[in-house]
């Protein structure tokens, strides 16, 4: 899995509040915060367009990022991103510090392989159903992958891959499975195609069973 390098230059933000955030956005900046670990949270401002371009990459949401604040580099992961309801604008970002030797919690996207050529699709005409598209994991920073692959090549109609079936890289734990055996969620399955029942001539009401409009009027 080739990793991209996300280096974000940031400036400490001293002017806070809704009005200050609004002024930042008008200046093509976006407010952000860095928190976690033993250090105090730091309010930041980032170049909106540069961060917005990075956000086009899936890896931006699961990769360890580098925030360069006043010449000092901080390792972090993106925990939350807020967008404008209808404009292509970011309005706020939350980053969590990454500490060496400490496990972090984050969500990883799932990449489903061989969907079109899976046995249950190609040979049996089934339909692939995604039950989840990402999973929450616990992992040391050094072992963090960008995504998990789920190969469904051998799935037949009626088969399901669960969390316990996933092939996890070394050091990666699924948070959901730490909650007990009954949390072994379905990830992806292949189901039989839905066949809509067509109304046949035998099922349709006979012509002599349907009162004609003029006969109804005559009775009235």
Q: Taking the domains of the chain in order of start, what are their residue ranges?
A: 7-97, 104-191
Domain 7-97 CATH class label? mainly beta
Q: Does domain 104-191 have CATH number 2.170.120.20?
A: yes
Instruction: Tell whether the model's pLDDT for residue 211 goes beyond 80.
Output: no
Given this model, what pLDDT does residue 27 score?
79
Whether the pTM exceeds 0.85: the reply is no
Residue 2's pLDDT band, with cuts at 50, 70 and 90, is very low
Quick: pLDDT tens for 111-167. Answer: 999 999 999 999 999 999 999 999 999 999 999 999 999 999 999 999 999 999 999
Instruction: Tell whether the model's pLDDT for residue 41 goes beyond 50.
Output: yes
What's the mean per-residue pLDDT of the chain? 87
Q: Which of 102, 202, 114 is nearest to 150 (CA)?
A: 114
Instruction: Give the burial class of 177: count Cβ atoms within 10 A of its Cβ; 0-12 exposed, 13-18 middle, 19 or more buried.
Output: middle
Question: In whole angstroms, what separates CA 106 from the centre of its chain?
Answer: 11
Given this model, what pLDDT does residue 5 score?
75
Contact at 8 Å (CB) between 120 and 151?
no
């Amino acid at each position: 899995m080739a990793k991209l390098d996300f280096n974000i230059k940031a400036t400490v933000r001293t002017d806070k509040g809704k009005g200050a955030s609004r002024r930042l956005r008008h200046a093509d900046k976006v407010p952000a915060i860095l928190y976690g670990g033993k250090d105090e949270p730091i309010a930041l401002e980032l170049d909106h367009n540069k961060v917005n371009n990075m956000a086009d990459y899936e890896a931006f949401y699961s990769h360890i990022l580098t925030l360069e604040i006043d010449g000092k580099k901080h390792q972090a992961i993106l925990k939350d991103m807020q967008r404008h309801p209808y404009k292509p604008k970011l309005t706020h970002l939350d980053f969590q510090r990454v500490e060496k030797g400490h496990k972090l919690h984050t969500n990883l996207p799932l990449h489903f392989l061989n969907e079109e050529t899976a046995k249950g699709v190609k040979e049996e005409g089934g339909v692939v159903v995604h039950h989840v598209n990402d999973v929450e994991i616990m992992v040391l920073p050094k072992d963090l992958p960008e995504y998990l692959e789920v190969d469904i090549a051998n799935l037949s109609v009626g088969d399901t891959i669960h969390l316990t079936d996933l092939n996890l890289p070394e050091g990666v734990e699924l948070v959901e499975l730490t909650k007990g055996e009954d949390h072994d969620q379905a990830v992806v399955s292949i189901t039989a195609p839905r066949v809509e029942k067509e109304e046949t001539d035998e099922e349709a009401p006979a012509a002599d069973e349907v009162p004609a409009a003029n006969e109804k009027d005559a009775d009235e």
